[in-house]
Amino acid sequence: MESATRTLSEAASKQLLTTHGVTTVPGIVVPTASEAALRADDLDYPVVVKLCGAAIAHKTERGLVRLGLADADAVRDAATELLARARPEDGPVELLVMPMVKGSRELIAGLHTDRQFGPCVMLGIGGVFAEAIHDVQFRLVPITPVDAAEMIEGLRTQALLGAFRGEPPVDREALAEILLGLSRTAESDPDIVSVDLNPLVVVDGIPLAVDALVEVRVGAP
Amino acid sequence: MSPTPEQFRALFEPRGVVVAGASSHPGKFGFVALHNILSQGFAGQVYATNREGGTILGIEAVPSIEDLPPDATLDLVFVCTPAAANADLLRACAARGITAAFVTSAGYGEAGEEGSAAERALVDLAAELGILLAGPNGQGVVSTPASLCAQIVAPYPPSGRIGVASQSGNFVSSFLNYAVQTEIGISRAVSAGNAAAVTVADYLDFYADDPETAAGLAYVEGLVDGREFFERVRRVASRKPLVLLKGGATTGGQRAAASHTGALAADDDVFDGMCRQAGVTRAATVEEAFEAAATFATQPLPKGPRVAIVTTAGGWGVVTADAIAGSELELAVLADDLCDAIDEKLPPRWSHNNPIDLAGGETRDTIPEVLALVAGHDSVDAVIYLGLGIQSNQAQLMREGCFYPGDGLERIVAYHERQDERFALAAAEVSVATGKPVLTATELSIASPDNPGPRAVRAGGRLCYSSSNRAVTALGHLWRYAQFRRRRGLE
């Protein structure tokens, strides 16, 4: 059962999830700082630039995410710095340019392989206090729309899902759609060991997966 | 391979039982088992084997199964012999047409590598012989429709509709002790022991189709195959309510370094979600588990979350309302026409709100009448009734006081006691008439179990909850299960 795993880069993770109907906030993948600056002009500023690679699992912890970049010059500077932070063990790296998504609420969703019960869909309250609050719901793959609705309803912190600080309530159907997409992902690919959609930023009530990390068994295509 | 219905019938409704390894020593399991079978009035034939023969508790023990009279009709062997003797024993039993064995013997899977090998061999042999193998290392089986108490421990519970299966024999005893205390009875109970061949899920699967059983109640700890367990209990819960108590500290498990999702996954969260998904009622404590099962077995499922509280005193109602606020239930909003109808029955000082505080304004028939009005109203899905037994409690003080009999005490004591009995019966009658749960809660059910109020609740076949919080918890479990069924089209 215990086998080695590897992670996919953010861009590859998002691409894989999209094929199973899990919508994520896409980004533009570029190899160089100047190209990052050029392509950022296609998006609305401010933008985000991240250093990505298959071997880079925790970008935030390593300071590989630059937020709120206001113009092409800022993007070029940030991208140059990020490329300089790449370590030899990271292997091939790339830059990901994305629109800046802002919301006051964060959720987390994903897939987890349980020792006893196998693949499970997970939903929780996200953000910096996620582990301290520990408000999570799991269901075994596959889940039905009723299961998805009950996962959302099962979170203790319901106040965060209602209307909040001038923002509308979380769109429960959109959130359920993400959970059902995760379930389909696990069903269709047994080599997927885990998925993190962290965070799911709630913007105008819609949960948006701004980051995605897929972990697969080594040897899997 | 799960046992066949015929094999389960041999275990739970045997025509005859033989205790193998019966003992003349009252301290030995082989004596206790025979004693319990005989003393609790099992109606079928009872035989015993003992290597030295002799008469035990009036039964002529024979040296071996082969020596039993040829006309003996036997379905079940209750095995108290040492592990080494059991293979030959099972072969002899099969030759006599026995199709179920409850094995109490130790020295199997719990006893190291050698024991595990012996256990595997015993399982294979029983399968080959067509014998249902319960245990080994189990405490026994109870089946009240057959008056069967084939176990090496007490108690024998009152008959009822809860089916118990447990990975721990001592938890069977705990649940049965609660059955004795509350008089909410048991249909079947079995200690799965090492569950070498027949698992807790197998027993639950039998209960789900058993007409004697209305609700399952199980204790589990380590699961061999979680996925299979999920599929099994899901099929059980789609047929009948199933309450689960899980033991075993969470181990944390290995956590994938790459995943936040994994870091947030305590084993218990996954188990909890599995229960929700399967429609299994998971209880946090032993008493909560028993009370949930007892409620499933004795009350109708609520059709909605709206609860009305009928109370003879303010504070109790307030605390109960607080408990409801912290649950998935709701406090019913009193409809105007219901308020008007209650106004007819009470002086104006009653609360005019839910909790319906009668505020001491009740006369002889008020409580039965208000219970009927409230439970009968469309805006109410369930009722919790508080205040039963207070007058009888005072009556007891009078009855036991130095002025009794005399000073008109006999008459008032009898009146109070009669009234509390009436109120208890009214709560049950209203529930049956409306098809809605009506739960009665008072600490007198344990503080003064002989109080005529709680006693009448028990006599009516219902649980008298020892606190309103516990009634709310039990009712919450019923509502959650009712929702589970409705949302999945299982009504």
Q: B163, B210 in Cβ contact below 8 A?
A: yes
Chain A residues with a Cβ under 8 Å from any Cβ in chain B: 2, 5, 7, 57, 108-118, 120, 122, 124, 130-131, 134, 136-140, 143, 146-147, 150-151, 154, 193-196, 198, 213, 215
Task: Give the integer Cα–Cα distance in Å for B130 and B126.
Answer: 6
Determine which of B238-242, B317-321, B357-361, B477-481 has the lowest per-residue pLDDT on average. Answer: B357-361
Instruction: Give the model's pLDDT for residue A73.
Output: 95
Candidate from A118, A122, A134 with C-beta closest to B261: A122
Lowest mean pLDDT among B64-68, B190-194, B217-221, B362-366: B362-366
Taking only the tens place, the pLDDT of each residue in B364-398 is 899 999 999 999 999 999 999 999 999 999 999 99
Rounded CA-CA distance B210/B216 in Å is 10
The domain boundary residue, chosen from B260, B295, B330: B295
Residues of chain A with Cβ-Cβ distance to B227 below 8 Å are 116-118, 140
Q: Do residues A213 and A8 lie in contact, with contact meaning Cβ atoms separated by under 8 Å?
A: yes
Cβ count within 10 A of residue B90: 24
CB-based contact B258 A5, cutoff 8 Å: yes
pLDDT band of residue B252 (cuts 50, 70, 90) is: very low
Q: Tokens representing B237?
A: 């819960």
The reply to whether residue B227 touches residue A131, judged by beta carbons under 8 angstroms, is no
Q: What percent of chain B has pLDDT over 90?
A: 91
Count of beta carbons in the 10 Å neighbourhood of residue B59: 18
Placement of tokens 């047409």 in the chain: B97
pLDDT in tens, B274-290: 999 999 999 999 999 99
The CATH number linked to B36 is 3.40.50.261
**For residues B65-77, average pLDDT:** 96
Fold agreement between A5-23+103-217 and A28-99 = no
Average pLDDT for residues B315-326, to the nearest whole number?
Answer: 96
Q: Which amino acid is at B359?
A: A
Same-domain check for residues B325 and B358: yes
Instruction: Note whether B252 and B398 are same-domain residues.
Output: no
Q: Which of A122, A139, A193 sits opposite B265 (nearest CB)?
A: A122
Residue B359: pLDDT band with limits 50, 70, 90: confident
pLDDT for B260 equals 65
ipTM: 0.92
Report the pLDDT value the prediction gives residue B457, as an integer from 0 to 100. 98
Instruction: Indicate the range of B246-260, B310-324, B459-473 predicted with least confidence.
Output: B246-260
Task: Give the CB-side neighbour count of residue B339, counting CA atoms within 13 A.
Answer: 13
Question: Which stretch of A3-17, A123-137, B20-34, B249-263 has the lowest confidence by average pLDDT?
Answer: B249-263
Distance, in angstroms, between A55 CA and closest chain B CA? Answer: 10
Kindly determine whether residue B277 and residue A139, on different chains, have CB atoms separated by under 8 Å: yes
The overall average pLDDT reported for chain A is 92
Percent of chain B with pLDDT over 70: 96
Residue at a domain's end among B295, B326, B341:
B295
**B331 & B437 share domain:** yes
Whether the per-residue pLDDT at A219 is higher than 80: the answer is: no
| CA distances, B408 to each of A47, B400, B401, B414 (Å) | 89, 14, 13, 11
A196/B273 touch (CB, cutoff 8 Å), yes or no = no
Question: What average pLDDT does the segment A131-149 reach?
Answer: 96
Q: Nearest by CB to B273, which of A57, A115, A138?
A: A138
Element (H, E) at B38: helix B29-39
Number of folded domains in chain B?
Answer: 2
At which of B253, B276, B295 does a domain end?
B295
Pair (B248, B370) in one structural domain: no
Residue type, position B388, single letter:
L
B291 and B347 part of one domain: no
pLDDT tens by residue, A45-76 = 999 999 998 888 788 888 899 999 999 999 99
In a 10 Å sphere around its CB, with 0-12 CB exposed, 13-18 middle and 19+ buried, how is residue A132 labelled? Answer: exposed
CB contact under 8 A, A110 and B270: no
Statement to judge: residues B186 and B63 lie in one domain? yes
pLDDT reported for residue B222:
78
Contact (CB<8Å) B261/A139:
no
Looking at the structure, tell me whether residues B391 and B352 fall in a common domain: yes
Asked whether residue B272 falls in the same domain as residue B399, the answer is no
Q: Which CATH number fits domain A5-23+103-217: 3.40.50.1370, 3.40.50.450, 3.30.470.20, 3.40.50.300?
A: 3.30.470.20
Tokens of A90: 């990271």
The answer on B211 and B233 residing in a single domain is: yes
pLDDT at residue A182 greater than cutoff 90: yes
The domain ranges of chain A are 5-23+103-217, 28-99
Statement to judge: residues B241 and B333 lie in one domain:
no
Asked whether the predicted pLDDT for residue A210 surpasses 80, the reply is: yes
Confidence class of residue B257 from pLDDT cuts 50, 70 and 90?
A: very low
Q: What pLDDT was estimated at residue A131?
A: 84
Inspect the interface and report whether the beta carbons of A196 and B259 lie closer than 8 Å: yes
Per the CB < 8 A criterion, the answer to whether A102 and A195 are in contact is no
Mean pLDDT of chain B: 95
Q: What is the mean pLDDT of residues B297-313?
A: 97
pLDDT at site B250: 52
Same-domain status, B238 and B352: no
For B109, the token pair is 């899977």
pLDDT at B254 over 60: no
Partners of B330 in the beta sheet? B306
Please say whether the dihedral angle defined by the alpha carbons of residues B352, B358, B363 and B369, taken in this order, is positive or negative.
Answer: positive
* pLDDT tens track for B407-460: 999 999 999 999 999 999 999 999 999 999 999 999 999 999 999 999 999 999
Q: How far apart are CA A201 and CA A208, in angstroms?
A: 5
Neighbours of A210 (CB within 10 A): 25
- A190 in helix, strand or coil? coil
Q: Residue A47 forms beta bridges with which residues? A: A69, A99
Contact A25, A178 (CB under 8 A): no
**Structural domain harbouring B444:** 300-487
Q: Are B89 and B66 in contact (CB under 8 A)?
A: no
Interface test with B, best of A134, A136, A182 (most B CBs within 10 A): A136
What's domain A28-99's architecture? 2-Layer Sandwich (3.30)
Partner residue facing B264 (CB), from A122, A146, A193 = A122
pLDDT exceeds 80 at position B1:
no
Q: Helix, strand, coil shares of chain A as percentages rounded to 5?
A: 30, 35, 35
Asked whether residue B236 falls in the same domain as residue B332, the answer is no
Q: How far off is chain B from A26, nearest CA to CA, in Å?
A: 21
Find which of B264, B276, B481, B484 to mutate to test the A interface (most A CBs within 10 Å of its CB): B264
Residue B262, pLDDT score: 67
Q: What angle, 0 to 180 degrees and rounded to 10, lies between the N-to-C axes of helices B409-434 and B366-376?
A: 10
pLDDT band (50, 70, 90) for residue B361: confident
Query: How many Cβ pairs within 8 Å bridge chains A and B?
Result: 108
* Euclidean distance between CA atoms B468 and B462, whole angstroms: 15
